[in-house]
Amino acid sequence: MLVPLALAAAAGYLLGALPFGYLVARSRGVDIFSVGSRSPGATNVRRVLGTGPGNAVLLLDILKGAAAAGWPLLVVWTALSAMADRHTLGYVGLAAALVGHSFSCFTRFRGGKGVATAAGGLAVLMPCVALSSAGVWIAVFFASRYVSLASIAAAASLPLWSFLYKQGTIAMWVSGVVALFVIVRHRANIGRLLGGTEKRFERRAPASPPEAGP
């Protein structure tokens, strides 16, 4: 049992640790950790570099979460398949991917908040839950224009949707852990929301990328 769990965790962490936000920004001559909110997430990349790079990071972060959670469901394990449930391995892969995304070994253990990565993994493991949570995100975002508030609300709704869709005990626990992780990663945003200093989403893109930091 420990061997497939370790493999799923290791693969999930390495997939999650792929620093797409950093790499996309670096390809434009920008150190994303020194500009804007200093986050390598899609929102900060979009604010700094514009819609195209931001959407690219969003898609790549979703895909790496989906890959981390989904490959145990697709790979033929032969002898290992009898040692662990594939959905359990998917949950482990998703959890590890969130840790990798937020504490990437490729960027000195810095990273983003894990929303897109979590969404990709949950879309594979619990598609109805992921879709309903996305609906919460959209509703809160268009009502408030705060990406952070929409992400927090969507994350907080995960355990509820897991319960309503009768996903099972393990899925409930995973949803709760993912929700708590995402909310904790947004603690600075929560402080700014309470203080009235959080930035709302803006459609405009910068005329030119800022200079990279030293």
Residues 92-105 have pLDDT tens digits of 999 999 999 999 99
Q: Is residue 182 over pLDDT 50?
A: yes
What b/e string do you get for 84-105 counting C-beta neighbours within 10 Å, with b at 16 or more? bebbbbbbbbbbbbbbbbbebe
Residue 51 to residue 44: CA distance in whole angstroms: 11
Query: Is residue 43 a contact partner of residue 114, using CB atoms and an 8 Å limit?
Result: no
Residue 214 has a pLDDT of: 46
DSSP 107: G
- Taking residues 197-201, what's their average pLDDT? 90
Domain ranges for the chain = 2-195
Look up residue 151 and give its two tokens: 């992400």
Q: Is residue 212 over pLDDT 60?
A: no
